[in-house]
Amino acid sequence: MDCIDGQQVATDTGSTDILAICKDRTRQLVIELKHGRASEVVVGQIQSY
């Protein structure tokens, strides 16, 4: 997946750590940075974006 620059983005439910957009602008990729092992709560956090 070729993506252009990613950056932190504010949403209605909080901020993403990194939102990357593919060069063809058809897909977005949300990247959440966590220290250590992430829990199931992280999945819910990402789905809320």
Mean pLDDT, rounded, for 29-42: 78
pLDDT for 8 equals: 77
From the list 25, 19, 24, the residue with the least C-alpha distance to 6 is 19
Range of the domain at 36: 7-47
Residue found by looking up tokens 């809320």 in the block: 48
Q: Cite the DSSP H helix spans in the chain.
A: 40-47
Q: Does residue 2 sit within a domain?
A: no
Q: Does residue 42 sit within a domain?
A: yes
Q: Does residue 20 sit within a domain?
A: yes
Q: What percent of the chain has pLDDT over 70?
A: 88
Domain tally for the chain? 1
Q: Does residue 1 sit within a domain?
A: no
One-letter identity of residue 12: D
pLDDT for 39 equals: 78
Q: Does residue 38 sit within a domain?
A: yes
The residues with which 22 forms a beta bridge, in sequence order, are: 3
Q: Does residue 34 sit within a domain?
A: yes
